[in-house]
Amino acid sequence: MDTIGAAPPPPATTPEITATLAEYVAASPTRALPEDIVEKATLHVLDTLAAIIACHDLEPARVARAYAARNSGALTTPILGATQTASLTDAVFATAMTAHAAEINDFCPSSYVQPGPAVVSTALLLGREQRIDGVRLLRAVVAGYEVACRLPKAIGAEAMRGTGVANHGIGAIFGAAVAAASVLGHRAGEVEHLLSLTAQQASGSWQWLLDVEHVEKALVFAGMGARSGLQSALFVEAGFTGVPGSFDHDRGWLRSTYLAGGPASADHDYLVRDLGTRFELPLVGLKQFPVGGPTQPAVQALLDVVPDVQVPDVARVLVELPSHNSRAFAEAGMPALNVPYLTSIILLDGRLDFVAAQSLARMAGDPEVRALMRKVEVRADPAQNAMPRVESARVTIVHEDGSSRTRFVEHVKGFPSHPMSKDDVVAKAKSLVQPHLGPARTTELCDAVLGMARLERLDPLIDLMARV
């Protein structure tokens, strides 16, 4: 019988995973990284900061800043991309919410995690407070991405969805916690406490698929993880302790059956396999279009065929997706995830822009859009199912005369197997940032991020982001 206050039983297994991971995180502030990983990390930072600036006026960003202001009074940590300040924790929270206020930030399709908003926001603002340099920041970001993307796969990335536990929330909180621990320079023993305390706060539900206004989704994917992950690191800094070796204990969080239905779906060793020599960053994609990752190939296919299509001649449109994507994106309440809506505005406008992709008002109230949406069928195509996960689409437009045209897109540019180039990422960032900061300041910001490894302090970069 358990007794309250009694010492915990000894671990059932040797804490190899916990200790190996803790040693990796503790060494991350001084570990040199390969040049290609440094460049990728730099581009992901740029992509995330561009998302923060572009999403400043969206509802998740507004409500998060209001929350931060309510809690923080006159405290002075800047909320990135804004003029407001808050406490450190609230500023990180509001910044991460802003970074995922729309469907434009990075994503790791193999783990169902979008690491940039939580990891970059936490590392950059805590790094500013700790007065670290750009090299140290990039090392913290890489460590955060490693854990954010590895952990769901160690648990069982596909199986987690069946349990209702959101990979996106789990990855974000551990990624943010590890990035914060790296910035603060936690020792290995302290990282073990951090992992245990973070497990107690880990949460998130696939209920986000029912969200309409993107606020709850931004909370699950970004804000909640950034805030709680940072808090874990600050708890440890203040002297909080957790359970050493917790990831290896048969009664610990990682081995909980609720996460993925038990050991059959898990590969716990993945969390530390080749850690420090094989990196997750090449498995993280960037979004070419301002829509959800699984809808990107359908958008590409539509943009390819729309120059040859006259809307009055369209009888119906069939969009075939992998089975795991079809229903969710046929019925999504959020415009940037709703395939019938995206199909309709691309056909009507001949293009897709950031504003239209996020417009709830247009999806609900534009009669031309509503009429076209009724002609769009989204269907599961088991032939497109694959492991590891792919994001593909086949679009068929059937004309009133019975003729049709079909376009199949297996991988859109930005998917990990077909990465965007450095020039592509910079062009995307400039297109998002320039309307808000102007051409000169946008170029200065991009140059500052691309030269991150030469920055002695982070303040100039943060100052460039402030909205005027």
Instruction: Give Rg (Cα) of the chain.
Output: 22
Task: Count structural domains, the chain.
Answer: 2
Per residue in 78-104, is it b (16+ CB within 10 Å) or e — as a string?
A: bbbbbebbbebbbbbbbbbbbbbbbbb
Evaluate whether residue 194 is within a structural domain: yes
List the structure tokens of 191.
């990282």
- Work out the average pLDDT over 316-321: 95
pLDDT band at 389 (very low <50, low <70, confident <90, very high): confident
DSSP state of 205: B
Task: Check whether 467 has a pLDDT greater than 80.
Answer: no
Q: Is residue 455 in a domain?
A: no
Q: Reply yes or no on whether the pLDDT at 265 is more than 90.
A: no
Single residue among 237, 259, 283 that ends a domain in this structure: 283
Rounded Cα gap, residues 17 and 268, in angstroms: 8
pLDDT tier at 327, thresholds 50, 70, 90: confident
Residue 337's pLDDT band, with cuts at 50, 70 and 90, is very high
pLDDT at position 121, please?
A: 98
* Same-domain pairing of 342 and 362: yes
Q: Compute the mean pLDDT over every residue in the chain, rounded to the nearest whole number.
A: 92
State mean pLDDT over 449-458.
96
Confidence at residue 6, expressed as pLDDT on a 0 to 100 scale: 46
Q: Which two tokens stand for residue 210?
A: 């029912």
Given CA atoms 433, 77, 91, 67 in this order, what sign does their dihedral have?
Answer: negative
CA distance 140 to 178: 8
pLDDT tens sequence across 118-164 = 999 999 999 999 999 999 999 999 999 999 999 999 999 888 888 88
Q: What is the CATH classification number for the domain harbouring 41? A: 1.10.4100.10
In a domain, 367, yes or no: yes
**pLDDT at residue number 385:** 86
Residue 404, domain member (yes or no): yes
Predicted local distance difference test score (pLDDT) of residue 9: 52
Question: 326: which 2 tokens?
Answer: 């079809």
Is 426 a member of any domain? no
Check whether residue 210 and residue 316 sit in a common domain. Answer: no
Q: How far apart are CA 87 and CA 90, in angstroms?
A: 5
Q: How confident is the model at residue 12 (pLDDT cuts 50, 70, 90)?
A: very low
Mean pLDDT, rounded, for 410-428? 94
Q: What is the pLDDT of residues 61-118, one digit of tens each?
A: 999 999 998 888 768 899 999 999 999 999 999 999 999 999 999 999 999 999 999 9
- 262/316 same-domain check: no
> Above 50 in pLDDT, residue 225?
yes
**Confidence (pLDDT) at 386:** 75
| Cα 436 to Cα 83: distance, rounded to the nearest angstrom | 13
Across 191-205, 272-286, 320-334, 355-369, least confident range: 320-334
| Separation CA 79–CA 121 (nearest Å) | 9
Place of tokens 């500023």: 91
User: Contact at 8 Å (CB) between 315 and 400?
Assistant: yes
Residues contacting 272, CB < 8 A, separation 6+ = 16, 17, 20, 21, 24
**What proportion of the chain, given as a percentage, has pLDDT over 70?**
95
Q: What is the mean pLDDT of residues 429-439?
A: 95
User: In the prediction, which pLDDT does 2 show?
Assistant: 40
Average pLDDT over residues 314-321: 95
Q: Using one digit for the tens of pLDDT, what is the confidence trace for 339-356?
A: 999 999 999 999 999 999
Domain shared by 121 and 254, yes or no: yes
Q: DSSP for 358-395?
A: T-HHHHHH-HHHHHHHTTEEEEE-GGG--SS----EEE
Which residues are 415's β-sheet partners?
A: 413
Bridge partners (DSSP) listed for residue 376: 317
Residue type at 411 in one-letter notation: H
Q: What is the pLDDT confidence band of residue 458, given thresholds at 50, 70 and 90?
A: very high
Domain membership flag for residue 5: no
The confidence score (pLDDT) of residue 3 equals 40
At 368, the pLDDT band (50, 70, 90 cuts) reads: very high
Q: What is the pTM of this model?
A: 0.92
Among 409, 432, 450, the domain-final residue is: 409
Phi and psi, residue 327, nearest 5°: -65, -45
Longest CA span, the chain: 78
* Residues 239, 187 share a domain: yes
d(CA 47, CA 33): 20
Tell which residue, 190, 424, 164, 217, has the closest CA to residue 337.
217
Within-domain flag for 442: no
Q: Which domain holds residue 195?
A: 16-283
Same domain, 273 and 327: no
- The answer on 55 and 198 residing in a single domain is yes
Alpha carbon separation from 355 to 50, 186, 291, 336 (Å, rounded) = 15, 42, 11, 10
Listed range (32-41, 125-134, 319-328) with the worst mean pLDDT: 319-328
Quick check: 172 and 208 in contact, CB under 8 A?
no
Residue 262 reports pLDDT greater than 80:
no
Measured between alpha carbons, how far is 245 from 391 in angstroms, rounded to an integer? 37
**pLDDT computed for residue 43 by the predictor:** 97
The string of DSSP codes covering 388-451 is: S----EEEEEEETTS-EEEEEES--BTBTTSPPPHHHHHHHHHHHHHHHH-HHHHHHHHHHHHT
Q: Residue 343's closest CA among 395, 382, 400, 288? A: 395
Structural tokens at position 423: 């020039």
Phi, psi (degrees; rounded to nearest 5) at 35: -60, -40
Instruction: Name the token pair of 28.
Output: 């991350």
Interatomic CA distance for residues 114 and 396, integer angstroms = 30
The SS3 assignment for 15 reads coil
Q: Are residues 270 and 301 in the same domain?
A: no
* Percentage with pLDDT > 90 across the chain: 84
